[in-house]
Amino acid sequence: MLKKEVYDFINEDSWFQKFIYTLIILNVFSLLLASYKEIFTEFKVFFELFEIFSVIIFSIEYVLRLWTAELHFEKGTGFSKRLRFSLSTYGLIDLIAILPFYLPLFFPFDLRVLRILRLFRLLRIFKLGRLSKSLQTIMSVLKDSRSELSLTLFVAFILLILSSTLMFYVENDAQPDKFENIGQSLWWSVATLTTVGYGDIYPITPLGKLLSSVIAIIGIGVLALPTGIISSAFINRLEKDKIKECECPKCGTKF
């Protein structure tokens, strides 16, 4: 069956996967090099031809995956399976990878919108998630620990709001230009909690300095929480991958 052969080719053939993998990496490098005006001006034709070639390949791949989607899912009609693929994470990534090329052909956009559309080409790197075992592991770990990460992010959000609000009321009279509103204080709070400390906004009152010191210390702990959660999840995942259960053919004991 032709459809089954095509499905096996785009999902199982190692040479095809390596080709797509390489093409995605080259697209990322092409986007980076094209940001240099001298390089882009000299090799403009090459960049344009490579973009056309890449879009053609990615478009064919997307159409083939859409056509063979009914073999990927067990339940549903052919239309529902194709719709399910189109709305899936990788289906949307595949579509976004080619959409910025086709949209200007049908709709007139100004230069600013075209630049934004070109930035979407960088999302092609997420196509590696289907081909790279490492990225699949990362996505799986983040998915397994999403509840713990959501909790820590919520705590961090609350802390950001509280610290920025307190700092606004403490420093507003002394620095009305730097802490004009809570929004500006929020920028200071983010820089402080992440221990980046750009130095463009900082407290000058004694109470503000004390509050800033406390928040900076708390920020170290807040940042350590998601780091520890992800690290622990990675270790558990790697240990599970290494452990291979063996079953005794006589007693059925697993060891």
- The pLDDT value recorded for residue 216 is 84
| Contact status, residue 91 vs residue 81, Cβ threshold 8 Å | no
Q: Distance between alpha carbon 108 and the CA centroid of its chain, in Å?
A: 29
Same domain? For 106 and 155 the reply is no
> For position 140, what pLDDT does the model report?
77
Task: Select from 81, 101, 131 the last residue of a domain.
Answer: 131
Name residues whose C-beta falls within 8 Å of residue 26's C-beta, 6 or more positions apart in sequence.
50, 54
Tens-digit pLDDT profile for the chain (255 aa)? 788 888 888 888 888 888 988 888 898 888 888 888 899 899 999 998 998 999 999 999 999 998 888 887 777 788 888 888 888 888 888 888 888 788 777 777 665 665 666 666 766 777 776 666 767 777 777 777 888 888 888 888 888 899 889 989 888 888 888 888 888 888 888 888 887 777 788 888 989 889 888 888 888 888 778 878 888 887 877 777 666 544 555 555 554
Task: Say if 253 falls within a structural domain.
Answer: no
Evaluate whether residue 138 is within a structural domain.
no
Q: Are residues 114 and 208 in the same domain?
A: no
Report pLDDT for 175.
Answer: 86
Instruction: Please indicate, yes or no, whether residues 21 and 68 belong to a single structural domain of this protein.
Output: yes
Final residue belonging to a domain, choices 131, 157, 184 = 131
Q: Give the pLDDT confidence score for residue 56 in this predicted structure.
A: 92
Is 195:220 a contact under the CB 8 Å cutoff?
yes
My answer on whether 33 and 153 are in the same domain is no
What count of other Cβ atoms lies within 10 Å of the Cβ of residue 82? 20
pTM for this one? 0.64
Number of domains in the chain: 2
Indicate whether 166 and 228 sit together in one domain. yes
For residues 90 and 58, the answer to whether their CB atoms sit within 8 Å is no
What per-residue confidence (pLDDT) applies to 45?
92
Q: Are residues 11 and 36 in the same domain?
A: yes
Q: Does one domain contain both 117 and 153?
A: no
**Is residue 208 within 8 Å of residue 171, measured between CB atoms?**
yes
Residue 255 has what pLDDT? Answer: 47
- Distance between CA atoms of residues 194 and 51, nearest Å: 38
Q: How far apart are CA 62 and CA 86, in angstroms?
A: 9
pLDDT, position 155: 85
Same domain as 24, residue 103: yes
Q: What is the pLDDT of residue 49?
A: 93
Identify whether residues 37 and 153 lie together within a single domain. no
Residue with token string 């999902």: 11
- Residue type (1 letter), 145: S
Last residue of a domain, one of 75, 98, 131: 131
Sorted by sequence, the CB contacts under 8 Å of residue 95 that are 6+ apart come out as: 62, 86
Q: What angle do CA 193, 196, 202 make, to 5 degrees?
A: 75
159 and 238 share one domain = yes
Tokens (6 digits) for 162? 């509280």
Which CATH number fits the domain that encloses residue 16? 1.20.120.350
Residues 6+ apart with CB under 8 A from 122: 28, 31
Range of the structural domain that residue 37 is part of = 2-131
Supply 190's token pair: 């983010």
Kindly state whether residue 254 falls inside one of the protein's structural domains: no
CATH number at residue 187: 1.10.287.70
Element at 31 (helix H, strand E): helix 14-34
Phi, psi at residue 74, to the nearest 5°? Answer: -85, -40
178 vs 202: CA distance, rounded Å: 8
